[in-house]
A and B are shown apart, each in its own frame.
Chain A
Amino acid sequence: MSESPVTVSIQSVSKRFGTVTAVDRVSLDIRQNEFFALLGPSGCGKTTLLRMLAGFETPDRGSILIDGQDMAEVPPNRRPVNMVFQSYAVFPHMSVFDNVAYGLRVAGTPSGEIGQRVRDALEMVRLSEQAERRPDQLSGGQRQRVALARALVKRPKVLLLDEPLSALDAKLREAMQLELVRLQHAVGITFVIVTHDQHEALSMANRIAVMEAGQVRQVDGPAQLYEFPNSRFVAGFIGKMNLFRARVIARHGTELKLDVEGLGRLTLPGQEPHSADSPGAAGPGAGPDPWDIDIAVRPEKIRIHRDEAPGGRISHHGRVSEVAYFGDTSHVYLRLDSGQSISANIRNVARTSRPSFRIGEALWCSWDAGDTLVLDR
């Protein structure tokens, strides 16, 4: 990936609305053919950033380069980007064909070419049959595909998608996720998608920028982001996480000796470094001793036993406080003897041999020391 040229370069861009800083000194490079996701809770500035790429908002500071060209003076209708809007914004008074043809018509494309390109675009999103329909005769999923075809027919350098799946029901959303990935492979255009849904981002994107309060917290591939979050925020926002406050009491090389709230003394082996282009890449252990940090374990990395775990694993004793059944998994909540709560995900691999835990039952939980994350406070 890193060899591909940069298509979108965002250079310390800031945007304020009144007293609210929506986007705060964001710098990002999005490469050619990347499926890039801007992920964050609502109000984190991801949509504002996308609208600045499209030209609907102008940055107060910093600059945006698309394909090497500074976009500062370029209005939305002259940018080599197209957008799929959250409401789809399909023109209600035009047929599907006319909707898709609109962008080519205002550009003065010859009508013969328009016909061919529109038919190709409709075929690509599997709407050839519906070309003469009006938008109000289409389902939500079909309307969205009209919006996609309408944007892609312009052959933009970058396709921007603003929460494209949020209005669809769960089944259709999953199908459209696959559809979008297929389309992106087929057309070879850089996709930038804004979403608040971590599953959407993890399953579709090559790289994800996690945003909070107008700032980018981490930029990484999905697996890297999930397994090696660089902060308490990213760790808690993506997936579920057991977080513990801890203090470094001694270090031997990369090995850390910790005093953890609710877990007692722990020794952790060396941590893999974070990927280079993320903030906080210097890695944990950079501060002076004694030094406050957080440690974290994903619930699915924790195993539950009736007996004490064999050596080499971090092991604690507690009682079941709650069990939540989710079909494919069960979440077991334990209260450790120290009073600390911890949750573990158990996969229900077989229909009949599902382990049943009674509330109040005494159990052991354990995890590999290597699955423990160390996070800067």
Chain B
Amino acid sequence: MTAPVRRPHGSPRNLIGPLDYTRRWWMRFLVAATFLALYAPILTLIAYSFNDSRRNIMWRGFTLKYYEKAWNNDSLIDAFVNSLSIAVFSTAVSTLLGVLVAIFLWRFKFPGKSAYEGFMVLPIVIPEICMGVAMMAFFARVGWPTNLTWPFNLGNIIIAHIAFSFPFVAVIVRARMVGFNRELEDAAKDLGASEWQTMRDVVLPYLKPGIVAGGLIAFTLSLDDFVITFFTAGPNTITLPVKIFSMVRFSVTPEVNAASTILIVITVIATVLAMRFQAPQDKQEG
């Protein structure tokens, strides 16, 4: 670390520089208020999942019984298993698709490329409700069967999830690709590597952090998606967010809080991992 800066003799210690925003009280207050507004509801939800009361109004002591109750709720567990299965499948496919699209856009020039790039990110910007309605209309129009056995009854949800999550993977991997030194590719070929060996030994290792980050984002998006799933799900396929919504319609019990807390924990872990993989690697590797 750098040596402490010696202040010129006689200058007041608490002089605030023009860019020292973190030392201004009103700025600190604003930051604190923002964080409070963002996280207080979530923290309350988590806290009340441990509340020993049937209603979420008064704090009556710590308990884990609602986690136990959620664990023994078969329909809740079914929904959770469905959610995980959908997330795993759609993540695998959307990661593959996203990486291929990113490499394709990086590697080739073709007429209408910028238009293609624009259209590709449409699922990111289109309102989810529109996407949901469109998906529902699409599956009704093609006559997608609704009476398949598990896990094939999840097929339409998986397809819908792939459709909205692969652009995220493509965008993240493409961003990583921008920093790629093309001389690395030339160097590999110069040393005798074929096109495929160059891809495997040089390009993909470079992209790995982007691919992992993109995959985890896709996983998170799929796991907690409600709107699109709600529109595409058949009568017998319930995912965790949809199940939680239906439970809330009757009453907000601590059991709902417990299920939500688990969903939050999984999502946060995936997001933290994604951010760590996306962070610049050079310092970490040293």
- Are A and B co-members of a single complex? yes
Q: For residues 251 through 286 of chain B, which have their beta carbon under 8 Å from a beta carbon of chain A?
A: 282, 285-286
Q: Contacting B183 at CB < 8 Å: which of A89, A103, A137?
A: A89
Identify which of A54, A87, A107 gathers the most chain B CB atoms within 10 Å of its CB.
Answer: A87
| Residues 223-262 of B contacting A (Cβ, < 8 Å) | none
CB distance from B65 to the nearest CB of A (A): 50
Does A46 belong to the interface (CB within 8 Å)?
A: no
With A and B bound together, what is the CA distance between A89 and B188 in angstroms? 9
- State in angstroms the CA–CA spacing of A12 and B65 once bound together: 85
Residues of B within 8 A of A134 (CB): 285-286
Contacting pair B192 A87 (CB below 8 A) = no
In the bound complex, do residue A103 and residue B285 qualify as a contact, i.e. CB atoms below 8 Å apart?
no
Most chain B beta carbons < 10 A, residue from A56, A89, A102: A89
Contact indicator B189/A76 (Cβ below 8 Å): yes
Say whether A136 contacts B184, CB under 8 Å. Answer: no
Alpha-carbon gap, A107 to B192, bound state (A): 7
Report the minimal beta-carbon distance from A190 to chain B, rounded to whole angstroms: 16
Kindly state the separation between the CA atoms of A85 and B184 in the bound complex, as whole angstroms: 9
Q: Is B194 an interface residue (CB 8 A)?
A: yes
Q: Does A91 lie within 8 Å of B192, measured CB to CB? A: no
User: Is A206 at the interface (CB under 8 A from chain B)?
Assistant: no
Residue of A nearest to B204 (CB): A93
**Interface residues in B, total, Cβ within 8 A:** 20
A56 to chain B, nearest CB (A): 6
* Residue pair A87, B190 in contact (C-beta under 8 Å): no
Among residues of B, the one whose C-beta sits closest to the C-beta of A107 is B192
Contact A106 B197 (CB under 8 A): yes
Interface residues of B in 152-198 (CB under 8 A from A): 181, 183-184, 186-194, 197
Check if A92 is an interface residue, CB within 8 A of chain B.
yes
Within 8 A of B (CB), among A84-109: 85-87, 89, 91-93, 102-103, 106-107
**A-side interface mostly:** mixed
A86 touches B183 (CB 8 A): yes
In contact, B187 and A136 (Cβ under 8 angstroms): no
Partner of A77 from the list B184, B192, B286 (CB cut-off 8 Å) is: B192
Interchain CA distance A150-B186 in the complex, whole Å? 13
Tell me which residues across on chain B come within 8 A of A75, comparing CB atoms: 189
With a cutoff of 8 Å between Cβ atoms, the chain A residues found around residue B194 in the complex are: 77, 106
Question: Which of B184, B197, B201 is close to A89, meaning CB atoms less than 8 Å apart?
Answer: B184
Provide the residues of chain A in CB contact with B206, threshold 8 Å: 92-93
Given A86-B183, A91-B184, CB of A136 within 8 Å of CB of B191: no
Q: Is the CB of B190 within 8 A of A106?
A: no
Question: Distance (Å) between the CB of B178 and the closest chain A CB?
Answer: 16
**Using Cβ atoms and an 8 Å threshold, which residues of chain A touch B285?**
134, 136
Q: Which residues of A in the span 264-287 have a Cβ within 8 Å of any Cβ on B? A: none
Q: How far is the CA of A92 from the CA of B190 in the complex (A)?
A: 17
Q: Which B residues are CB-close (under 8 A) to A103?
A: 191-192
Q: Which residues of A contact B201 (CB under 8 A)?
A: 91, 102, 106
CB distance from B206 to the nearest CB of A (A): 7
In the assembled complex, the CB of A268 is this many whole angstroms from the nearest CB of chain B, namely 49
Contacts of A157 in B (CB 8 A): none
Is A154 located at the chain interface by the 8 A CB criterion?
yes
B202 near A85 with CB under 8 A, answer: no
A83 at the A/B interface (Cβ < 8 Å)?
yes
Interface residues of A in 54-79 (CB under 8 A from B): 54, 56, 75-78
A77–B193 contact, CB under 8 A? Answer: yes
- Knowing A86-B183, A106-B197, say if A93 contacts B205 (CB, 8 Å): yes
Whether the pair A89, B192 counts as a contact (CB closer than 8 A) is no
- What is the distance, in angstroms, from A91's C-beta to the closest C-beta of chain B? 6
Residue pair B187, A106 in contact (C-beta under 8 Å): no
Q: Is the pair B190, A102 in contact by a Cβ cutoff of 8 Å?
A: no
* 15 pairs of residues in contact across A and B, judged by CB atoms under 8 Å: A76-B186, A77-B190, A77-B193, A86-B183, A89-B181, A93-B206, A102-B193, A102-B201, A106-B191, A106-B192, A106-B201, A136-B282, A136-B286, A137-B286, A147-B187
The 9 A-B pairs with the shortest beta carbon distances in the complex, nearest first, are A103-B191, A89-B187, A89-B183, A85-B183, A93-B205, A76-B189, A106-B193, A77-B189, A106-B192
Given contacts A85-B187, A136-B285, 16 further A-B contacts (CB under 8 A): A54-B190, A56-B186, A75-B189, A77-B190, A77-B194, A83-B187, A85-B186, A89-B186, A91-B201, A93-B205, A102-B191, A102-B193, A106-B192, A106-B194, A106-B197, A134-B286
